Structure 1
């Protein structure tokens, strides 16, 4: 199998319908795109289904990539859009979760417990506020992008983000969360 180290050569080979290039592309960009799907799917099997559907969209639209930014970022964005579209078609809300790749690099019991506490607090947020918080704070989307994706105004996006932050702050200031019980 050719060693497509140059992204442009890899994309050109994919556009020529080279199956080996498709496989190399999937192997290179599948894992980072899967991390996007895992954040929204309740299980690994569904995440892989979402990834496969998203990568099909990527291959369909590969000729539209303009080399104005990161190819990996573009792939992840298309996979994310396909994932959200999937949930809209099936009239389900995605499950936001902090997955193992979001953990600190030191994989200790205390870090796992702290991340679990944080995920549990985020899960208590109302669905739309939770989704806006995740898109803004974790995925790095702007309010304009969030508003477009979720079909409401930028002001609505800002309101949901502030509401989520306020609710998290209040919960973290409650007695059980006042101090990090897992520190040191």
Structure 2
């Protein structure tokens, strides 16, 4: 088993099929987590992942070791997924499906997370996309603006709009008190 990332990349670039398999198995889970956020079924998720990983392998010689390899892979998989949606002129669904959720410690935690997901789903598409990228995926406004082809100010506006809508929804009667606090 190859543990050193530089050696793994060098062997992949040399055409070593076993090294390419090790690379795929090591980094596909990170890409899969991204693809699951933007597709509604497993077939579509796998198509996005495989397309993204093909892009990774085709550009592997361009990685400059200036950041983490996993972060670079995730960025390429994300960009490949967005390219697919642009190509087919549709927006990502950003649906959270049951098989994508981690196992929760308690049923109440699951219910609370489910309520939050339902509220996020009520957001306008672009605001929901920006909110998800910022709050869940951890992208900054410059990265979001670059990926969605608009200004950082527009990204900030959509994030603030999403927060405002969520705050208003949480102020409604069913959410005024934490019903799961015991």
Q: TM-score, normalised by structure 2?
A: 0.94
Aligned to 1:161: 159
CA distance in 1, matches of 2:53, 2:82: 14
Superposition deviation, residue 101 in structure 1: 5.6
Matches within 5 A, 1:13-162: 13-98=11-96, 103=102, 106-162=104-160
1:95 is paired with a residue of what secondary structure?
coil
Distance of aligned partners of 1:97 and 1:182 in 2 relative to their CA distance in 1, 3 Å threshold: farther
1:27 is paired with a residue of what secondary structure?
helix
For structure 1, which runs of at least 5 residues remain unmatched after alignment? Answer: none
The root-mean-square deviation of aligned C-alpha atoms, in Å, is 1.4
CA deviations on 1:80-107 (whole Å, 9 max, x unpaired) are 010111111111111113456654x643
CA deviations on 1:110-138 (whole Å, 9 max, x unpaired) are 12211111111000000000011111111
Q: TM-score, normalised by structure 1?
A: 0.93
- Assess if the C-alpha contact under 8 Å between 2:104 and 2:110 holds in 1: no
CA deviations on 1:48-73 (whole Å, 9 max, x unpaired) are 11000000000000011111111111
Indicate yes or no: 2:10 matched with 1:6: no
- Assess if the C-alpha contact under 8 Å between 1:172 and 1:178 holds in 2: yes
- Assess if the C-alpha contact under 8 Å between 1:98 and 1:119 holds in 2: yes
CA distance in 1, matches of 2:113, 2:39: 18
Indicate yes or no: 2:173 matched with 1:175: yes
CA deviations on 1:13-51 (whole Å, 9 max, x unpaired) are 000011111100011001111000001111122111100
CA distance in 2, matches of 1:171, 1:97: 19
